[in-house]
Amino acid sequence: MANKNLNAAKTAKKDEFYTQMSDIERELQHYWQHFRGKTILCNCDDPYESNFFKYFALRFNQLGLKKLICTCYNGSPVQGNELMIDWGDFTEEPKKIAYKVEITEVRDLNGDGAVDLSDVQYLLKNDKNVLSILKTGDFRSSECIELLKQADIVVTNPPFSLFREYVAQLIEYGKKFLIIGNVNAISNKNFFPLLYTGKVWNGVNSGHTWFKVPEYYEIPDFYDLTDTKKLRSNGYAIKDGRLWRNLGNICWFTNLDNKKRHEFIDLIRSVKHTEYCEYDNYQAIEVGNVNEIPYDYDGIMGVPITFMHKYNPDQFELLGITENDPKMKEYWKDGALRYDRPYLKGQRKPARLLIRNKHPKTL
C-alpha cells in the first residue's frame, strides 16, 4: 500500500473488521428459507475481502437467489487478495475505488459440476453480471439508496462506528436484514425501542468473535509477538500473514424469523428455594444471570441485557429497560418503559431489562 494510503488509513475510524466465512455460515444456515427468489444486498462489502459476497456468490444457485448486489466503499482503506476477480478494464494493481457488483447468473464455467471460487472469478465475464463504478459507495449516498430500494434482504457486518445510522436507514426503507452488531446496542436509546416493539430481534449466535483486520491495526509494542498464547488471550493473532482481532460482545440482529426466537429457556430454579433480592427502588427482583430466572415467579425481574440472546416473546414479556439518567425518559419511544437504574442494598446495578414470565408455574 502506498504511504499516502497507509497514512489515510491510520487516521480512519477503525471499521475494518472482516468477518470469517465460518461465522457467516454458522448464522446464515438458519435463514436459507428466507433467501429463495430474493435480491440480496451486501452494502459494506468489498468483494476482494468480503466473505459475505463469497458466501452468496458461491451458493447463488443453491439458495435460488434472484440477484446479489455488493457495494464497496472507497473510504475502506485496505484491499485484500482473496478473490482475484478479472477486473476487465480495471486490471492494474487493485485500487481503492468505490464500485458495485451485480450478479444475476452464476454458471459452473469449468464444467466440474460445482460452482466454486474459480467460477466466481469468471462471474464478471458473464454479460448478465455487471461491475460498475460508484461515486463513493457510502451506504447513505443516493446511488446506494437506489440499490437498497431494489434489495429484499440486506446481509452484512456494517461499520461499527455508523451502526445506529445504518440501522435507522434499514428501518426507514422497511428492509429485511441480518447484520452483525455489538450487544451494547441493546441498551441504546434508539435501538432498544426496536427490540421492545418486536421490529428487530437477536440472531442465533453471539459471543467472542475473531475478525481479520488491516495490518495497521497494530499490536501494541509491549506485547511479545512470539508469545502467541498471550497474544491470543489479549485478543490478537497472526494467521496466514494477516492480523486478527478478537472482539467480545458480538451478536447478530435481524428481522428475519429464526428458530432460536421460538425456543423456550429451561427454567430450573424456584423463587422459594433461591435467594432473590428486591431492588431498593422498584418492585422487581434482581436476577443476575439468565440461567437463574425462576420458573415460579409472576412479578417483574431485572435481567442482564444479554437476556435478549434468549428472548422468546411467547415465554416472556419485555417490559422495559433501566436507565441511569432520568432525563432519558424524554427519549421514551413506542411505549418502552424506561426506569431509573436499580439499586440493590444501596449498590447501583448495571443496566437491566425488566421482564415478566408469561407462564409462571405454580406448584
Ligand X SMILES: C[S@@+](CC[C@H](N)C(=O)[O-])C[C@H]1O[C@@H](n2cnc3c(N)ncnc32)[C@H](O)[C@@H]1O
**Quick one: which of 16, 27, 102, 286 contacts ligand X (CB under 6 A)?**
16
Those residues whose C-beta lies under 8 Å from the C-beta of residue 9, and which sit 6 or more positions away, are: 1, 77, 78, 214, 216
Interface with ligand X, residue 357, by CB under 6 A: no
Scanning residues 121 to 160, which ones bind ligand X (CB under 6 A)? Answer: 137-139, 156-160
Interface with ligand X, residue 214, by CB under 6 A: no
Scanning residues 221 to 250, which ones bind ligand X (CB under 6 A)? Answer: none
| Closer CB to ligand X, 53 or 60, in the complex | 53
Grid cell listed for 84 = 482475484
In whole angstroms, how close is the CB of 133 to ligand X at the nearest point? 15
Dihedral sign, CA of 210, 213, 217, 220? positive
Interface with ligand X, residue 209, by CB under 6 A: no
| Contact mark string toward ligand X, 37..76, x via CB under 6 A | -------xx---xxxx--------------------x-xx
| Closer CB to ligand X, 17 or 192, in the complex | 17
| Closer CB to ligand X, 15 or 298, in the complex | 15
**Quick one: which of 1, 5, 6, 15 contacts ligand X (CB under 6 A)?**
15
Interface with ligand X, residue 18, by CB under 6 A: yes
- How far, in Å, CA of 37 to CA of 52, rounded? 18
In whole angstroms, how close is the CB of 194 to ligand X at the nearest point? 20
| Closer CB to ligand X, 235 or 288, in the complex | 235
Interface with ligand X, residue 307, by CB under 6 A: no
Interface with ligand X, residue 83, by CB under 6 A: no
| Closer CB to ligand X, 143 or 278, in the complex | 143
Nearest Cα to Cα of residue 31 among 51, 70, 71, 59: 59
Q: Are 296 and 271 in contact (CB under 8 A)?
A: yes
Which residues in this chain contact ligand X in the complex, by CB under 6 A? 15-19, 44-45, 49-52, 73, 75-76, 137-139, 156-160, 162
